[in-house]
Structure 1
Amino acid sequence: MKIKFIIFIFSITLVSSGLSSQERKKDTIDDQVVNVVRPYQPTISDAFKIKDTPKLSDSNTVKKKDVKYNIFSIPVVSTFTPAKGKAANVDKAKPVKLYDNYASLGVGTYTTVLGEVYLNHELNSSENVGGYFSHHSSQGGIENLLLDDDFAKTSINAHYSQKLRDFSWKIDGGFDVQSYNWYGLPQNYFGATEANSIDPGHSFSGFNIGGKLNFEDAIINNGSIRFRRFTDNQDSGENRFIAKTSFDVPIQDEQISTEFYIDYIGGSFDKTYTTDDELRYGNTTFGLSPSYQIKEDDLTVDLGVSLVYLNDNEFDDNKFFIYPNIEASYRLVDEILISYGGIKGGLNQNSYYDFANENPFVSPTLLVTPTDQRYNAYIGLKGKLSNNVSYNIKGNYFAEENKALFKSNDALTFATRDNQYGNSFRVVYDDVTTFSVAGELNIDVNRNFTLGIKGEYFNYSLDNQEEAWNLPDITGSIFMDVQISEKWYAGASAFYVGERKDQLLLVGTLIFPDPTPITLDSYFDANAHLGYKINDQLSVFAKVNNIANQDYQRYLNFPVQGIQALAGATYQFDF
């Protein structure tokens, strides 16, 4: 059917071509009548199948030859028998057993005892209970001292936590006891005669209790409270209560992250440095800090402000402060180069507890008042030089009113107390601006080697005080940890502190003081430790501190212990 149709179409084409090729005799088209009887409709019966098999008529075709293959083999006598195939086994690393508890004890020179115990027990899948105990003491023995220099620090803490479906909570409390000596007697003013009448021992004690709450998928994110009682053996006492919470405030389609806190402090000293009058202090601060975060590609900006209200309970004085709270970061080159900066401020609450922990040789005659950090402007660069090396470079500019500075107390020729011989410290306040440049480099090659280096330079400007008392111009540190083998591990650290300034005056009824700043030399303190893991639970260690055996002074007339060695053991266990 299909072939007939093709022939018909081909015939029509030839006729049309012949007609068009004839010479036209007229320019007009004659009328013609075309009668279509019936369009062609092919049927299946019109088609036919070619039944003949095509044959190749080329006479030059070459017939394919048969190819036969033979192997020339010679029999060889052999006793080799191939073994059956066996899948190779992959050596699996033995899983590391982690223990929830440990106890450590070490003893060393200067009759030093160092002990720690950490306990944590899972009552069930949602409840935990635990505690912590630490003790560090030394019988002293610093050369060329006229007064005792022993010390002891002991602390005990316990906690209980529970995790529920929508929130988790934790409560904890602790007790601390510390004892020290005001052993920094200025021997150019006083000698053995005065030293025999001085009892330089003093101690601190205190307890704290508090708790935390964390919520899941709620407007309130978390909350915490803490109460601390701190006292000494000189009839001084301080109470502090802090409550904090953070929550999100929805505004249209945005969230404003907000923090709110209440900070109360109140305390008293039985006497001032030169009189028998009681010295009292106390205030309450309320703080509110809303902030809003903006993210655009590689740029992140936190815009916020801190509002603080101060109520001075002792002097019945109220103040209101507004501080900036702005941070920004921009990824210049992914994780390789990130620039950041900001400007922040705040009202920093000072306390007797904080002063005594930073400098345990303060006298219980301090003036305690908050520091107004008007702003802290900073800018920096951070990132990675490689997958194993990270860095951070930062510049800071602080402006602080009533910044606390430690300064040596005047030595009194008419001293009636054990801390009036120039062997204790007071706190003075001044408006200080500080410029600093800091750098940090961290190298983490693998789990077996880590290295960190830090350094910072400071420049101070003060309004009233002659010097930035006991503040260094340069600080630096280096830390290193090495896993030598599966059993052996080691580490080292070193600290550098630049020069500091202090001042000591001898005051008497007939002596007119001539103040002269004293420069404390910079010092370098190197330390190292080595440990050996006997088994999964027991390991032994050795430590050496102040390897260079420097007799530097951390504070004026307060030298530190020389080279110190300590050895001990640590045991890990589960209940």
Structure 2
Amino acid sequence: MNKRIQLLSILLLGVSQIAFSQIKEEKLVLNKKREPEVKKIEKKKTSVETIKNYPPEEKSQNPVQYKITDVPAVSDFKTSTIQGEDVAPKFQGSAQNNYIQFGMGNFGKILGDANISKTLDNKLEVGIDAHFLSTQGLKKEYLWDSKQSSTTLGAFVNSYGDKGKFNLNAEYGLNSYNYYGIYALEPGDVDLDQRVNQFKVNGYYDFYSNEILNDVRVKSSFLKDHFDAQENQASILANLSKHAIEIGKSGINLNADLGIGMETVKTDFAIREKNSSNFFNTSLSPKVTFRKGDSYLMLGSSFSFLNAKNSNDVMEQVKNNKTYWFPQAEFQFAAAKEFKFYGGVDGGLKLNTYGDLLQQNPFIVSDQMLRPTQTKYHFYAGLRGDIDETVKYDVSAGYGKMRDILFYKANDLFNNDFTLNRSAYNFANTFSAIYDDGNVSDIKGSIQYFPLENLVLDGEVQFTKYDLKNYEDIYNVPLLNASIGAKYTMLEKKLMLGFKGIFATDRTTNSYAIEAVPDANAPTGMVYRSTEDKNDKVGGYADLNLSAEYKIHKNFSIFALGNNLLSSKYQTYKGYKVLGAQIVGGVKISF
């Protein structure tokens, strides 16, 4: 298995850029003036119409960028969420590609940000990307240390040739924070530190034409944390295709695609039960698409061939070799560009990694039993459209059946010894991944409105209901998420204003009440005893954020960010309070 990891890592150096982790969104930013791509509108990747003979020179002048959009609560105490989505508006133009910015605010917050690139004579672009964010935490809320910091350093290479584009990206990230969410004990001054180091190398090559080899993407990651957990991941995916095959004189075109992928993940933990897992997955995804105008019918399947090994200190190694089949089909009937009816069914296998879990919940204990999540099928139907290039909307509903749905439960004390001299994760302040089978129902809505050339409004809402086999409720998952946003430019684009509101309903969780009780058999004569509440609530919230940036000179700007302006004292996970109202001001130098 180690040889497989090494082989895939070596292959990476010959290809280019892919956003690491499961790609949640892949947007093509083509610098369109009137139809900006907005998050989650028509994002589903299908066999779409091919633009023949796309001019390489034109494509090199408008380079395609692939970005991840992951929107957690902006004022979440996990500091890297600032980089999840920067609500500060960004100026368009070449000057914005090279900038350095610095800001400071309350809670001891320090923000540093830089992106510098240079295009050489041979159309090779090289650059660096750096981010830093730190806060002193909630000193008035906790007697113990709650400061956090996040650092990301990256370098990239972009090349635009006659036949395709090549991207290569290397990135190092360090997140340093504390397990500060202690609600059942009062430990005083203790070391609650957790640090996660992660190095990524990602690659992507995309041919301009969709003839035979469409694109190749590779990703790799090497992770280590403060408790000596280690995870190595590598994957490669090639898309083969033959597009725009005319079927007689019917006006129907045929697109044929075949995705071939391999992924390997090896994870080892060094504390508690010392869980270890090793996954190797090979996938095939054939599909054909019949298209006429904006209407199409896609038929396909996906196959996964999984080799899995799990072990820990309390059980022997368990091996599992299994083949999975998943349906893939989608149709769209375009009655008009304003009304496009669509529906389909899909499914798949997702390898859950320690790195993925830390992105969702950084407060998990460094010892997890990892299992893949299987979506056996997911049916969906919806309506989307574009009204006069002024309103874009997408509304859909779905129903699916899943196995090993991943969510998080709170941990108890790992021992009942009557002492506060215990490990950082041993205060009932961490979480563990748990799994259950069940059904999921979802309703999603998204709308963007462009009333003026310099004004963009957007809104989203998502309702998700789980019906689990063993648990009455799914822990730490809200029933309803919603967001609204706006971006406005004025004074000849010298002033840019932004707004983002994020809303979530109550979440159910488990929690523990801990008390000291006499025990004649204990060395100290006392032990801790826990009582679990399986139906605790973590309240919902409304998180409002504003931003402003004023361009004093073409090379100099000042900015201000206001996060959680209602000072909502909510928790993302039990015990982990977020920062209150935050104001950050700073300067930006563009060149």
1:494 to 486, 501, 504: 501
* Identity fraction in percent: 23
Output the CA distance in 1 between the equivalents of 2:139 and 2:434. 29
Mapped contact 2:97–2:116 kept (Cα < 8 A): yes
Q: What is aligned with 1:233? A: 226
Secondary structure, in 3 states, of the residue corresponding to 1:304?
Answer: strand
| 354-363 or 235-244: bigger deviation | 354-363
Secondary structure, in 3 states, of the residue corresponding to 1:549?
Answer: coil
* CA spacing shift, 1:164–1:456, aligned 2, 3 Å: closer
1:23-172 to 2 correspondences below 5 Å: 98-172=95-169
Mapped contact 2:103–2:584 kept (Cα < 8 A): yes
Output the CA distance in 2 between the equivalents of 1:216 and 1:529. 38
Mapped contact 1:413–1:506 kept (Cα < 8 A): no
Output the CA distance in 1 between the equivalents of 2:160 and 2:340. 37
2:568 pairs with 1:530: no
* CA spacing shift, 1:298–1:548, aligned 2, 3 Å: closer
- 1:266-289: CA deviation from partner (whole Å, max 9, x where unpaired): 0111123xxxx4210111000000
Deviation at 1:505, TM superposition (A): 2.9
1:183 to 180, 183, 189: 180
Amino acid at match of 2:97: D
- Normalised by the length of structure 1, the TM-score is 0.78
Deviation at 1:410, TM superposition (A): 0.9
* CA spacing shift, 1:368–1:310, aligned 2, 3 Å: same
Q: What is aligned with 2:433? A: 427
Output the CA distance in 2 between the equivalents of 1:560 and 1:299. 46
Output the CA distance in 2 between the equivalents of 1:367 and 1:390. 42
* CA spacing shift, 1:146–1:400, aligned 2, 3 Å: farther
2:306 pairs with 1:310: yes
Secondary structure, in 3 states, of the residue corresponding to 1:219?
Answer: strand
Output the CA distance in 1 between the equivalents of 2:428 and 2:412. 5
- 1:116-159: CA deviation from partner (whole Å, max 9, x where unpaired): 11111111142111110011111112532132111100011111
- 1:200-227: CA deviation from partner (whole Å, max 9, x where unpaired): 1110001111322223554211112222
Amino acid at match of 2:496: Y
* CA spacing shift, 1:549–1:392, aligned 2, 3 Å: same
* CA spacing shift, 1:165–1:456, aligned 2, 3 Å: closer
Output the CA distance in 1 between the equivalents of 2:232 and 2:334. 45
Deviation at 1:161, TM superposition (A): 2.8
Output the CA distance in 1 between the equivalents of 2:242 and 2:550. 54
Mapped contact 2:565–2:581 kept (Cα < 8 A): yes
* CA spacing shift, 1:150–1:435, aligned 2, 3 Å: same
| 560-569 or 446-455: bigger deviation | 446-455
Q: What is aligned with 1:319? A: 322
Q: What is aligned with 1:345? A: 347
Mapped contact 2:227–2:271 kept (Cα < 8 A): no
1:201-212 to 2 correspondences below 5 Å: 201-212=193-204
2:560 pairs with 1:554: no
Amino acid at match of 2:568: Q
Q: What is aligned with 1:9? A: none
Deviation at 1:491, TM superposition (A): 1.1
Q: What is aligned with 2:85? A: none
Amino acid at match of 1:176: G
Structure 1 residues not aligned, in runs of 5+: 1-94
Secondary structure, in 3 states, of the residue corresponding to 1:542?
Answer: strand
Secondary structure, in 3 states, of the residue corresponding to 2:356?
Answer: helix
Mapped contact 1:183–1:200 kept (Cα < 8 A): yes
1:510-521 to 2 correspondences below 5 Å: 511=529, 513-521=531-539
Structure 2 residues not aligned, in runs of 5+: 1-91, 248-253, 311-317, 517-526
Amino acid at match of 2:325: I
Output the CA distance in 2 between the equivalents of 1:308 and 1:317. 13
Mapped contact 2:412–2:530 kept (Cα < 8 A): no
1:116-515 to 2 correspondences below 5 Å: 116-186=113-183, 189-191=184-186, 194-196=187-189, 198-217=190-209, 218-248=211-241, 255-272=255-272, 277-296=273-292, 299-314=295-310, 315-332=318-335, 334-411=336-413, 412-414=415-417, 416-486=422-492, 487-506=494-513, 511=529, 513-515=531-533
Query: Aligned pair count?
Result: 469
- 1:534-565: CA deviation from partner (whole Å, max 9, x where unpaired): 01111101111111111111110111111100
* CA spacing shift, 1:99–1:512, aligned 2, 3 Å: closer
Secondary structure, in 3 states, of the residue corresponding to 2:366?
Answer: coil
Q: What is aligned with 1:26? A: none
Mapped contact 1:101–1:572 kept (Cα < 8 A): yes
Deviation at 1:183, TM superposition (A): 0.5
* CA spacing shift, 1:498–1:302, aligned 2, 3 Å: same
Output the CA distance in 1 between the equivalents of 2:164 and 2:441. 43
Amino acid at match of 2:506: E
Output the CA distance in 1 between the equivalents of 2:437 and 2:223. 28
- Normalised by the length of structure 2, the TM-score is 0.76
- 1:448-469: CA deviation from partner (whole Å, max 9, x where unpaired): 1110011122222011123100
Deviation at 1:442, TM superposition (A): 1.0
Deviation at 1:298, TM superposition (A): 5.1
Output the CA distance in 2 between the equivalents of 1:388 and 1:300. 24
- 1:351-370: CA deviation from partner (whole Å, max 9, x where unpaired): 10111122111110111111
* CA spacing shift, 1:161–1:296, aligned 2, 3 Å: closer
- 1:61-93: CA deviation from partner (whole Å, max 9, x where unpaired): xxxxxxxxxxxxxxxxxxxxxxxxxxxxxxxxx
Secondary structure, in 3 states, of the residue corresponding to 2:553?
Answer: coil
* CA spacing shift, 1:127–1:246, aligned 2, 3 Å: same
Q: What is aligned with 1:4? A: none
Mapped contact 2:263–2:281 kept (Cα < 8 A): yes
- 1:174-196: CA deviation from partner (whole Å, max 9, x where unpaired): 1111101101101xx312xx333
Q: What is aligned with 1:86? A: none
Q: What is aligned with 1:566? A: 584
Secondary structure, in 3 states, of the residue corresponding to 1:357?
Answer: helix
Mapped contact 1:142–1:560 kept (Cα < 8 A): no
- 1:336-375: CA deviation from partner (whole Å, max 9, x where unpaired): 1111111100001111011112211111011111101111
Mapped contact 1:494–1:526 kept (Cα < 8 A): yes
Structure with greater Cα Rg? 1
Amino acid at match of 1:114: L
- 1:17-50: CA deviation from partner (whole Å, max 9, x where unpaired): xxxxxxxxxxxxxxxxxxxxxxxxxxxxxxxxxx
Output the CA distance in 2 between the equivalents of 1:170 and 1:440. 31
- Alignment root-mean-square deviation, CA: 2.2
Output the CA distance in 2 between the equivalents of 1:289 and 1:96. 39
